[in-house]
Structure 1
Amino acid sequence: MDDVFDSGKFSHGKQVGQLETELAHYTGARHVIGVNSGTDALVLLLRACGLRPGDGVLVPAYSFFATASAVVLAGGRPQFVDIDPGTYAMDPEALDAAVTPRSRFVMPVHLFHTMADMAALDAVARRHGLTVVEDSAEAIGMRRRGVHAGLHGRGGVLSFFPSKTLGAIGDAGAVLTDDPEIADTVAALRHHGRGGRTLNDFPAISTESALPGANSKMDDIQAAVLLAKLPLLEEHIARRAELAAAYTARLRDLPGILRLPRAVAQTPDDRDVHYVYLIETEHRDALVDHLEGQGIGTEVYYPLPLPHQPVFGHLGHRPGDFPHAEAAARRAVALPFHPDLPPGDLDRVCDTIGSFLATTRTTA
């Protein structure tokens, strides 16, 4: 960080370039383009892949709001798809049924601890002629068949929001792609249409493309923090796996627990990464209140399915249209989970949940 201040180059500078290089090495991507947030990464990726105004983009009904808002900000129209209740990711059969003549893109999301079934989703996409891009904002370190999340379609993204597996001290993000044309377009779009890092590198986008750029550059302070933390990433991922296993061992036989994270990775070339530890219970809201009363924080992911957000009311979706997404929104809660979580704290969380569920069962 001192180097950044000494250089006087506070965004889109040397530290950002070095981070892009190291992330490309870590993920195996041919191109990594640092931007100012995971949300802008999605917007710029969709635009660089040729999204036209009004194009339909199929997205899961259960995800963070940015999944759908990025589609709108890029000029598209979100088309919602129900999820697989085991992975919380887009269900391939539901995707097949949701395709319309308007559909041009499909954007699976890798949530919480595992990737979407990209092989099955890609098969549906090929059958319908859809372009695949990935909302892999939470998925650093996740792989299927040796391929990092975000590299199974035209491109993907990473978010470095402070709570992420690799987090900055503010907003930051990146686009991953193996396509040099997409990489060049995203690199220009993030910097007012310039191809390089100075005022002299303008314009980089031809007038025929009609793609005005934006100010979506990554700050070098964030890049410096991420460069310092990147060598610790594998250690932190391993610790997260230990904590997830400890939670599962303590919680799996408790009455009232409807679902715990399940392993999806099947081969040495596959890897799940626990970003959060999510459980489901019909007593979710009461459990959240009880834990809060005991000084234990939680996070509800996500309290309202995307199709039922007021801003998408004009699309006409009704309760019951996305049953798996609606069940998750009603029942899911994330427990305290980070690499520095002491074992004693984990035990206290589990003991408190156990006593609450036992009392709830008795009174019921």
Structure 2
Amino acid sequence: MNFIDLKSQYERIRTPMNERIQKVLDHGQYIMGPEVVELEQRLAEFVGAKHCIAASSGTDTLLIAMMAIGIKPGDEVITSPFTFIATGEMIALAGAKPVFVDIDRRTYNLDPALIEAAITPRTKAIMPVSLYGQCADMDGINAVAAKRGLPVIEDAAQSFGAYYKGKASCAVSEIGSTSFFPSKPLGCYGDGGALFTNDSALAKIMAEIRVHGQDRRYHHPRLGINGRLDTLQAAVLLGKMDIFPDEVAKRAKIGARYSELVNEAFRGIDDPQKKVTTPYLAPDCTSVYAQYTVEVPNRPKVEEGMKARGVPTAVHYPVPLHLQPVFAELGQGEGTFPISESVARRVISLPMHPYLTEDQQVAVVKALKESVLA
């Protein structure tokens, strides 16, 4: 069994995908070719944003966004400690200090009620993470940000295709940033990412930063990075766009069925040491289930049990950012963010992709129950 099945996806779109790749090979514009422009137009239309800036990765897009709004050394950016390293890493690489705020216990996303207390005169942005495929509480976060005059950058690396109260992820804040890493709901065959905004001036700045701060050939009014998207990756993403809405629908169905199966499997088991928690979907939200993640007791035992039964799993993420050695200088040890720390010890992700069969899901949940109860 595959944790993520890109092969089945490719077989579904083999012919149009190969044709798009061949077209790039024929015209030879391998960097920022016409497919990049086409992709930006399609992505902007899909999200409902005025502007899309395709870029080299979902990590680089975070840095580009912060550079565009003027984040500099000495500034602070508020974010979640329960996320992939890239979120905090880019804040630090921009010269700023990541200021962590604990998460909502049910959604695993930034808790808006805790943000205001973390704001200081040095706070220059808020960067919520839309983890596991579901948007953070963007109304709550945007309200705090508006009150304090702060821009919001949604780290939507895992939630592209999800909706929050009728609005698409990446269109629910001043800037949306996403990733097209191969395992993402919409992934290319290498690294890739994109930025979204309705602010035309901001879009222009981000587009310039992406190409070494260049506004025209060999003219550089600002510092930038090499954040360009390869044309081949744009072609791959265009090849997947036609089936993406169908895959999003399949992910929602598979995620819901997983929850039904898991809840049924553990119904009537009251022992907290045998309890499994399924994902919580907030009202008026959808999820693309970039991961289908449950909480289990004694995770090492469960991991071994699943492995022995031939079912791959992963942990997203075992160590919160404030406990990573690279951020030790922040002086935030065990107990600083108790919800993030508790969740990090319990989460485990099950196989998740649009091509999971019902029989495979049944087998996964059977293995999960046997591993937990063993």
- TM range, smaller chain: over 0.9
Q: How much has 1:106 moved relative to structure 2?
A: 0.6
RMSD over aligned Cα atoms: 1.4
Q: What code does the residue aligned with 1:30 have? A: K
2:280 equivalent in structure 1: 262
Q: How much has 1:42 moved relative to structure 2?
A: 0.5
- Report SS of the residue matched to 2:124: strand
* TM-score, length basis structure 2: 0.90
Distance 1:265 1:30 in 2: 27
Equivalent pairs: percent with the same residue?
37
Matched, 1:67 2:87: yes
Q: What code does the residue aligned with 1:355 have? A: E
Q: How much has 1:166 moved relative to structure 2?
A: 0.4
Matched, 1:125 2:140: no
Identify the match of residue 219 of structure 1 among 230, 253, 260: 230
Distance 2:47 2:275 in 1: 35
- Report SS of the residue matched to 1:302: coil
Distance 1:323 1:258 in 2: 19
1:251 equivalent in structure 2: 262
Distance 1:88 1:178 in 2: 27
Identify the match of residue 112 of structure 2 among 92, 99, 104: 92
- Report SS of the residue matched to 1:112: helix
Contact 1:11-1:219 within 8 A present in 2 as well = yes
Q: What code does the residue aligned with 2:235 have? A: A
Contact 1:125-1:132 within 8 A present in 2 as well = yes
1:202 equivalent in structure 2: 218
Contact 1:287-1:353 within 8 A present in 2 as well = yes
Q: What code does the residue aligned with 2:322 have? A: P
Contact 1:162-1:168 within 8 A present in 2 as well = yes
1:242 equivalent in structure 2: 253
Deviations 1:293-328 (A, max 9, x none): 222111101010001100000000011110110011
Deviations 1:1-56 (A, max 9, x none): 11111111101110111100100110011000111000000000111012122210
1:79 equivalent in structure 2: 99
1:362 equivalent in structure 2: none
Matched, 1:108 2:123: no
Deviations 1:97-146 (A, max 9, x none): 22223211110110113111111111222233322111111111122233
Q: How much has 1:343 moved relative to structure 2?
A: 2.0
Contact 1:251-1:257 within 8 A present in 2 as well = no
Identify the match of residue 291 of structure 1 among 295, 306, 309: 306
Q: What code does the residue aligned with 1:7 have? A: H
Matched, 1:230 2:248: no
Contact 1:113-1:261 within 8 A present in 2 as well = no
Q: What code does the residue aligned with 2:223 have? A: P
Q: What code does the residue aligned with 2:218 have? A: F
Q: How much has 1:357 moved relative to structure 2?
A: 2.2
2:167 equivalent in structure 1: 147
Structure 2 vs 1, CA of residues 258 and 350 (structure 1 numbering), >3 Å: closer, same or farther? closer
Identify the match of residue 335 of structure 1 among 342, 347, 350: 350
Contact 2:289-2:352 within 8 A present in 1 as well = no
How many equivalent residue pairs?
A: 347
- Report SS of the residue matched to 1:131: coil
Deviates more, 1:270-279 or 1:34-43: 270-279
Structure 2 vs 1, CA of residues 323 and 258 (structure 1 numbering), >3 Å: closer, same or farther? farther
Distance 1:265 1:148 in 2: 15
Q: What code does the residue aligned with 1:176 have? A: F
Q: What code does the residue aligned with 2:297 have? A: E
Q: What code does the residue aligned with 2:47 have? A: T
Contact 1:298-1:335 within 8 A present in 2 as well = yes
- Report SS of the residue matched to 2:133: coil
Distance 2:155 2:229 in 1: 19
Contact 1:192-1:212 within 8 A present in 2 as well = yes
- Report SS of the residue matched to 1:313: helix
Structure 2 vs 1, CA of residues 237 and 257 (structure 1 numbering), >3 Å: closer, same or farther? farther
Distance 1:356 1:22 in 2: 44
- Report SS of the residue matched to 1:78: strand
Deviations 1:325-352 (A, max 9, x none): 0011100010001011222221111111
Contact 1:283-1:331 within 8 A present in 2 as well = yes
Q: What code does the residue aligned with 1:309 have? A: Q
Distance 2:365 2:235 in 1: 37
Deviations 1:38-93 (A, max 9, x none): 00000001110121222100000100110101111222110001000111100112
Q: What code does the residue aligned with 2:138 have? A: M
Matched, 1:32 2:52: yes
Contact 2:297-2:372 within 8 A present in 1 as well = no
Q: What code does the residue aligned with 1:296 have? A: V
Contact 2:65-2:206 within 8 A present in 1 as well = yes
Structure 2: gaps of 5 or more residues: 1-20
- Report SS of the residue matched to 2:242: helix
Structure 2 vs 1, CA of residues 182 and 136 (structure 1 numbering), >3 Å: closer, same or farther? same
Q: What code does the residue aligned with 2:373 have? A: A
